[in-house]
Amino acid sequence: MKALEFYSGIGGLHLALSQSNAPASVTHAFDWDQNACEVYSANFGPGITKKMDISTLTASYLAQINASLWLLSPACQPYTVLNPSAKGGLDPRATSFLHLVQDVLPELARVDAHPTHFLVENVGGFENSSTRHVLVSTLRSLEYTTLRYIPGRGDATWVDLRLVDPESNPDDTDGIHEIREYLDPEPVEGYGIPDKRSGSILKMNEEQDVVHLISPQSSSTSADAVRTLDTLRLQYFSPEELLRLFSFTLPRSSSDPPEQTFIWPEGISRKTKYLLIGNINLIQYLFEEP
């Protein structure tokens, strides 16, 4: 089965599909970001991904590929609940997805070249958007018989990693990796948390409690509060640690096969790596039965 990957990024859906038992493979991928395309090609080979504006894709072009599976991870910014002013389908960043759904898909259906399967991934907020309404109504009008939604397990992916004592309860630790297996062997300089930055972080001091340190009763100024957090020894996850957490690469366990590598082409900055990784779903679960 041929698969197309739209908004392909660094290939999260491609990797998830390849690690599953689904009889499909990605033959073409599309993304507008040049850095994403370079990283994608470095890891999945040249000739698959194409840098282009997805809103310019035509039914005639996609009909020639005649893929049975579409993998789509459109821009999340128009829908995220973290943005009170999110515009949903009115956001220009939603245009390309609506183009695929409203214009391209019906035309493909008329020539019997439309996909038989879809996987659409997005954030909390998308499910109540006008874009989702357009998607569902279009699929129903084209007689897609099954609309299946995998519960998001919350609006974000939460990973609970703990240091465990295998002797305490061996049955409960089967298949559980210790947190150190996801971390770099040595702390990397420059991953401390500056005052005005945010991101995926790790609390290194388990003896201190955030709620106790910062409470509504505290009379500290904002600057004092930030300094108080110094005792927690907060730091960013490195890009390599995030790749392990999201299942792009394996934990550093001696019992596992050698860690598969993820290639960052020369010239990709640390900041760009964070932007490209984003908040990707846990790869290993995307194609599992719920």
User: Strand pairing partners for 203?
Assistant: 234
Report residue 108: phi and psi, to 5°.
-65, -40
Question: Distance between CA atoms of 90 and 94, rounded to whole angstroms?
Answer: 7
The question of whether 76 is a catalytic residue gets the answer yes
- Residues 27 and 74: beta-carbon distance below 8 Å: no
Provide long-range contacts, Cβ within 8 A and 24+ apart, for 53-61. Answer: 53/96, 54/6, 54/7, 54/30, 54/96, 54/97, 54/99, 54/100, 55/95, 55/96, 55/99, 57/30, 57/99, 57/100, 57/104, 58/104, 59/103, 59/104, 59/107, 59/108, 59/111, 59/113
Catalytic residue among 76, 94, 232, 276: 76
Output the six-digit token pair for 221. Answer: 């100024």
| Catalytic residue list | 76
